[in-house]
Amino acid sequence: MGTALLDCVVIILYLRLVNTGLLDDNHFELVHILIKMAVSLKSSGSFCSTQLQWLHSTRDRLLYGSSHSNAKECTCKKTKRPAPLCVKATSMKVELDFNDPSWKQKFQEDWDKRFNLPRITDIYDLKPRPTTFSLKKNRSPAGDENGTPMDKWNGYVNNDDRALLKVIKYSSPNSAGAECIDPDCSWVEQWVHRAGPRKEIYYEPEEVKAAIVTCGGLCPGLNDVIRQIVFTLETYGVKNIVGIPFGYRGFFEKGLKEMPLSRHLVENINLAGGSFLGVSRGGAKTSEIVDSIQARRIDMLFVLGGNGTHAGANAIHEECRKRKLKVSVVAVPKTIDNDILLMDKTFGFDTAVEEAQRAINSAYIEARSAYHGIGLVKLMGRSSGFIAMHASLSSGQVDVCLIPEVPFTLDGEYGVLRHLEHLLKTKGFCVICVAEAAGQELLQKSGATDASGNVILSDIGVHMQQKIKMHFKDIGVPADVKYIDPTYMVRACRANASDAILCTVLGQNAVHGAFAGFSGITSCICNTHYVYLPITEVITAPKRVNPNSRMWHRCLTSTGQPDFH
């Protein structure tokens, strides 16, 4: 046993004897020296944080007769406030002992297990067949005239290909945006499955019936994804493609019939906003939906939607596995809020930001043109402030950006209203951007929910409009408040160029994933690469803006706003 480790063991045993009363106060000086030794050992990395906090607590009891330490025991399970050296991984489900030399291996094994993609071969003993997906027609399988192998030319992806989820090695948990696994912020590889066409498939295309359904609210890009799914299915040779009208409701509502889809029918639907298939919230029981899937003899189901829709897709996937149905359920992440875990972005977000910053610029013109003008814009963001943050950055005209991840107060010395007084006095006008979920703690909760089970939020925009008017009236300062809510204008427009490309690739990869035999997965972009993720890993919680992230810091630099609490 090493000297440092032996000293640690002696100190811990000795202090525990003191704590239990087996040694008396005559040993005080020795105990004090030993505690100092323990602290020095901690600084050399030979002591764990839990032991150090126990020693600090023991020291305080010896010196003062009670514990004066503010440090709470670090359990890494129920820590409410960040404690020094108590770090846990994002989405980490396995408990790790960082003193165990093999903790990295255990983390990796747990990660690989959780991110291993479900397949129909898990319940069926199926043999693959050569793919029917090819970009070159009428070519010999051996290669083209230049000697390029067909598999390379067609861009087939190996099943063992992986992409790194994160590429930044943070040197400290205090680094901006740091997401560390252990107290030392060690580099841990987090690999996810690369998306794309495979050389072998598990379906006979001519026998496949594929269905597409769009759920939740409207979002720019829905038609682009529908179009690309149909195009890619036909490239594989699928003839039977249908659309399920009005979300999950189309599976059980009488009078709603499935819509036959073809390349000719969807050729130009990307030129308009909305959903060619229609949308709705909520739906029947999972068992009823799967009953309908079984009765319709659907082999592939492509589900376009956000967190709630993904949860529904996963439930359908699990029920199909339970019944041992050969059905691939593949989701495509659709939410303008950009609030799905692990993904760089979801389709519709870029378009939403572009449209939102136009509303902000209009508010700026209104505010600047009025005497003591105040432009107030409320943007979507049910649980996160990504749209508000990015739109504020892109417009460059916002003085105050309020998001649900960062608490604020309206009244008082450090409140938003006092800062607005300062802005009117110094600039003569100001622009405020607020996310719809921001400041909900300041409002009376309705307690109502929509058809998807989402809590109906109180209107922070109207509340702020009224508060601002009342405040400046009370202090005798004229203020001209212009309130803009562009919510439905943002949702209904067609996808911009950036989103159109993202939709195209996500739709294509969804089909590739289904033919590869995957089910219960979502097609997405992570760390600039297109990948597949298990749905179970992205629905655990909504993604939110990290107030310690560089992007939020950039937003604060742009607006120049102070802390409002």
Q: Is 550 annotated as a binding residue?
A: no
- Distance between CA atoms of residues 291 and 266, nearest Å: 28
40: Cβ contacts below 8 Å, ≥ 6 apart: none
| Residues 6 or more apart whose Cβ sits within 8 Å of residue 207 | 299
Residues 6+ apart with CB under 8 A from 145: none
281 annotated among ligand-binding-site residues: yes
Q: Quickly list H helices, 115-187.
A: 150-153
Residue 337: active-site member: yes
Annotated binding residue 37: no
Across the beta sheet with 529-534, the strand order is 162-164, 191-194, 529-534, 521-526, 328-333, 300-305, 209-214, 240-244, 259-260
250 has binding-site annotation: no
Residue with tokens 């399970």: 77
- The reply to whether 336 sits in an annotated binding site is yes
- Two tokens at 397? 């005209």
Check 299, 337, 350, 499 and give the catalytic one. 337
Q: Is 414 annotated as contributing to ligand binding? A: no
Residue 92 marked in a binding site: no
> Rounded distance, CA 421 to CA 369, Å?
18
Find out whether 489 is annotated in a ligand binding site.
Answer: yes
490 assigned binding-site residue:
yes
How many angstroms separate the Cα of 76 from the Cα of each of 51, 116, 134, 439, 542? 14, 26, 50, 29, 21
Q: Is 255 annotated as a binding residue?
A: no
| 544 marked as binding residue | no
The DSSP bridge pattern shows strands 162-164 and 129-130 to be unpaired
Is 337 annotated to bind a ligand? Reply is yes
Residue 373 assigned to a binding site: no
Question: Is 309 annotated as a binding-site member?
Answer: yes
Torsion of CA 386, 391, 396, 397, to 10 degrees: -110
Residue list for the binding site for substrate:
335-337, 380-382, 436, 488-491
Residue list for the binding site for ATP:
217, 281-282, 306-309
Residue list for the binding site for Mg(2+):
307
Residue list for the binding site:
217, 281-282, 306-309, 335-337, 380-382, 436, 488-491
Q: What are the catalytic residues?
A: 337
